[in-house]
Structure 1
């Protein structure tokens, strides 16, 4: 219970409660003033108009402590960007410039409410999202079980949205083989939605994780499902769509995956099946690669950057030029001296970036050849372009 009284944790809980979803304006306010001061100014209204427009309807709410107490009673926790289990590497794709993402305010979550023993970052280090229609056929459920089960046996975490149909089949398949699965909800983690999956979500929370960016007590809503889809796409190495109608919400998840640089895959179905028209459309129009089993999925999702359509797309995500690096890696790179090594902690102090985010940024910089390690720490690598 002591964690619930920590001023910074209380501030994050308050911000998550009044914002309820992503907000670049709020992100910028927190980055410039710190979360405790940002929360205090939100309460009084002494914030930029863009922030006040977002929080004014809920700024009076004082449920942060109650929300944290409820999470503690559920053996849950609030995960924030300064925590070790924050999946900073997964969220780097949200730093792309306006216009590169499906929605203007589709940024990283401000915080994550989590129930379950699986730490978010490590458990999604090697993960595949399996999604599809709620009105799944026996064929779709069978294929989902085969793919998700085989992936889980091989050590992949299966990520999905906890819904009826394909989502539920994916979670059950992973649980059935003793694998790890993560359910991302469009409501508070204290609410079983759909109600018929209360037992399934409880099973997920016993060995994996049930995750939401919304505080306890938040009801499901259509726009929250669309926002939830971006997190499903972000927390994985690739998205597999198994059965999707012509206007399926799974295609929204797929569009987020492409925007974030994740490979998108689709399973073909019978040509007479309305449940597979969305998959066939994505394959035909080049939005997804055709897969028929876990081996195909691993071939697409197994390598960093796999599924990015061409070099220009890869450049836009990871940046081969210094001015095209995402914001956080660029800040960390600027903190390097012209010569000599730096520890992660020193880079955090010099860049003003939390330690967990510095570690994730260094992965990007090392992959792109801008930084490397020696016996004394991290050093800058000058690249000839």
Structure 2
């Protein structure tokens, strides 16, 4: 099994390409949670995520013959970029298979770092099947995204940086997809102090680790569905599961709505852009998915910031809805001059800003002398939304909340 000495050796290798990323105390999230929160900002890592560490360490272990034959891997995005850059820096040819709906930004970045990219399959598992075909056909070495001890050791260098920078740490919170990141970090943390907690977090739509622990064997999902594409895997790895069983204290899950809220808080309050997978540790804290003490020293590992802009737009809107900052509603007006103006007056009285109005007199769901109106509104809080809706209903409007 992976040991702390493996991570110590990896530190020397990954120094070639990776940065020692910041560990910053957050006044905002400490105030919000009551804990002492320090953010491990892998968002500032080369390629924008932690994966460059494991990829560099694994490529450094290749024999001269394997280096000459080249490498192949499968990835939803961040491992792809890590392998592409690490291979280019080492002079090794690389092919990366990515799911067909992988974020465009990650596909472009992988190509720009020097890899040949092939799009195949609906998710990581199907992309991996194709990558193994290329492995057999071309004699390349397959670089697993997480179920490889050299990869796990490289990711574990994050844990050694945390304990060097913050030896008083009580709890480290880590995303789980396939389990390579948490396996490495847990090994480093427990090697430093077995009493430090390591908590894993998965998206509800891609949660397999908690079920695996409960069953005592690996549980594989039939599909995944989450905005956190970086951890959208059907199952944890064989090697990573062994480490998780032994060294991870607890695994919790968060909803996509929880993730969206964490992303917008990080943007707004910490001026930090984090992808869905990277936001899950903070999402778990804000949603109170695990117990902690006041003033407990907690490090959420923000594992990456490579979020597609189209996805970011969706996440921001979802986060605004979840925090009461945006609402979409529908009502029906009498089809007469001034009816819309009267409605706008009510909205203005409640200090609500209008993003958009859609006015429809042709809907079959309303009377011939009526008009259906949908409004996109900027609000301040859930309480503000409730006040607006109550005020509209007091004026005789029927109100249906759409978002």
Using the size of structure 2 for normalisation, the TM-score is 0.27
- Report 1 or 2 for greater relative contact order, CA contacts < 8 Å, sequence distance ≥ 6: 2
**Structure with the greater alpha carbon radius of gyration:** 2
Q: Please state which structure has a larger fraction of its residues in strand.
A: 2
